Amino acid sequence: MNAMNKGLHAYRAGVLHFTGDPAFADQAYSWHEDGLLVVDGAHVAAAGDYAKLSSTLPPGTPIEDWRGKIIMPGFVDTHIHYPQTDIIGSPAAGLLPWLETYTFPAERKFSNPLHGAEVARFFLDELTRNGTTTAMVYCTVHPESVEAFFTESEARNLRMVAGKVLMDRNCPETLCDTAEGGARDSEALLKKWHGRGRQMYAITPRFAPTSTEAQLQLAGELARAYPEVYIQSHVAENTDEVAWAKALYPWARSYLDIYDHYGLMRERAMYAHCIWLDDIDRARMAETGTAAALCPTSNLFLGSGLFDFPRADAARVPLSIGTDVGGGTSFSMLRTMNELYKVARMGGSHLSALRMFYLATLGGARSMRLEGTIGNFTAGCEADFIVLDPRATPLLARRTGTAGSLEELLFALALLGDDRVVAATYVAGRRASAGER
Ligand code: GUN
Ligand code: ZN
Question: Is this prediction's pTM over 0.95?
Answer: yes
Average pLDDT, the chain: 97
pLDDT of residue 132: 98
Coil vs helix vs strand at 192: helix
pLDDT of residue 433: 79
Residue located nearest, by CA, to atom 7 of ligand 1: 327
Residues 145 and 16 occupy one common structural domain: no
Residues 220 and 110 occupy one common structural domain: yes
Q: Is residue 356 situated within a structural domain?
A: no
Q: Is residue 12 situated within a structural domain?
A: yes
Pocket lining for ligand 1, CB < 6 angstroms: 81, 95, 99, 103, 206-207, 234, 237, 298, 324, 327
- Amino acid residing at 379: A
Q: Give the model's confidence band at 138: pLDDT under 50 very low, under 70 low, under 90 confident, else very high.
A: very high
Residues 126 and 260 occupy one common structural domain: yes
Distances (CA, A) of 154 to 124, 135, 300: 11, 13, 33
Substitution site in 98, 138, 204, 206 for ligand 1 pocket (most atoms within 8 Å of beta carbon): 206
- What is the atom index within ligand 1 of the atom nearest the CA of 304? 9
Residues 413 and 386 occupy one common structural domain: yes
Q: Is residue 364 situated within a structural domain?
A: no
Q: Is residue 81 situated within a structural domain?
A: yes
Query: What's the 137 CA to ligand 1 centre distance in angstroms?
Result: 12
Nearest to 203 by CA among 364, 218, 320: 218
Substitution site in 79, 95, 258 for ligand 1 pocket (most atoms within 8 Å of beta carbon): 95
| Mean pLDDT computed over 143-165 | 98
Residues whose Cβ atom is located within 5 A of ion ligand 2 = 272, 324
Across the chain, which distance is largest between two alpha carbons, in Å?
A: 69
| Mean pLDDT computed over 407-415 | 98
Substitution site in 104, 110, 164, 237 for ligand 1 pocket (most atoms within 8 Å of beta carbon): 237
Number of compact structural domains in the chain: 2
DSSP 200: E
Residues 66 and 91 occupy one common structural domain: no
Q: Give the model's confidence band at 3: pLDDT under 50 very low, under 70 low, under 90 confident, else very high.
A: very low
pLDDT by residue (tens digit) across 262-287? 999 999 999 999 999 999 999 999 99
Residues 34 and 80 occupy one common structural domain: no
Q: Is residue 360 situated within a structural domain?
A: no
- What is the atom index within ligand 1 of the atom nearest the CA of 295? 9
**Bridging pattern class, strands 43-49 and 29-40:** antiparallel
Tell me the residue range of the domain where 209 lies. 75-351
Residue located nearest, by CA, to atom 1 of ligand 1: 234
Nearest to 63 by CA among 38, 32, 41: 38
Substitution site in 78, 84, 99, 166 for ligand 1 pocket (most atoms within 8 Å of beta carbon): 99
Query: What's the 355 CA to ligand 2 centre distance in angstroms?
Result: 23
CATH, residue 179 = 3.20.20.140
Distances (CA, A) of 127 to 14, 355, 356: 23, 22, 18
Residues 302 and 421 occupy one common structural domain: no
Q: Is residue 369 situated within a structural domain?
A: no
Residues 390 and 347 occupy one common structural domain: no
Nearest to 39 by CA among 85, 74, 68, 69: 74
Residues 186 and 168 occupy one common structural domain: yes
pLDDT by residue (tens digit) across 77-87? 999 999 999 99
How does DSSP assign 294-362, residue by residue? E-HHHHHHTT-----HHHHHHHT--EEE---BTTBS-S-HHHHHHHHHHHHHHTT----HHHHHHIIII
Query: What's the 234 CA to ligand 2 centre distance in angstroms?
Result: 6
pLDDT of residue 435: 57
**Bridging pattern class, strands 75-81 and 132-138:** parallel
Ligand nearest to the CA of 244: 1
Coil vs helix vs strand at 140: coil
Residues 379 and 303 occupy one common structural domain: no
Query: What's the 79 CA to ligand 2 centre distance in angstroms?
Result: 6
Angle of CA points 39, 378, 4, to nearest 5°: 40
pLDDT by residue (tens digit) across 341-384? 999 999 999 999 999 999 999 999 999 999 999 999 999 999 99
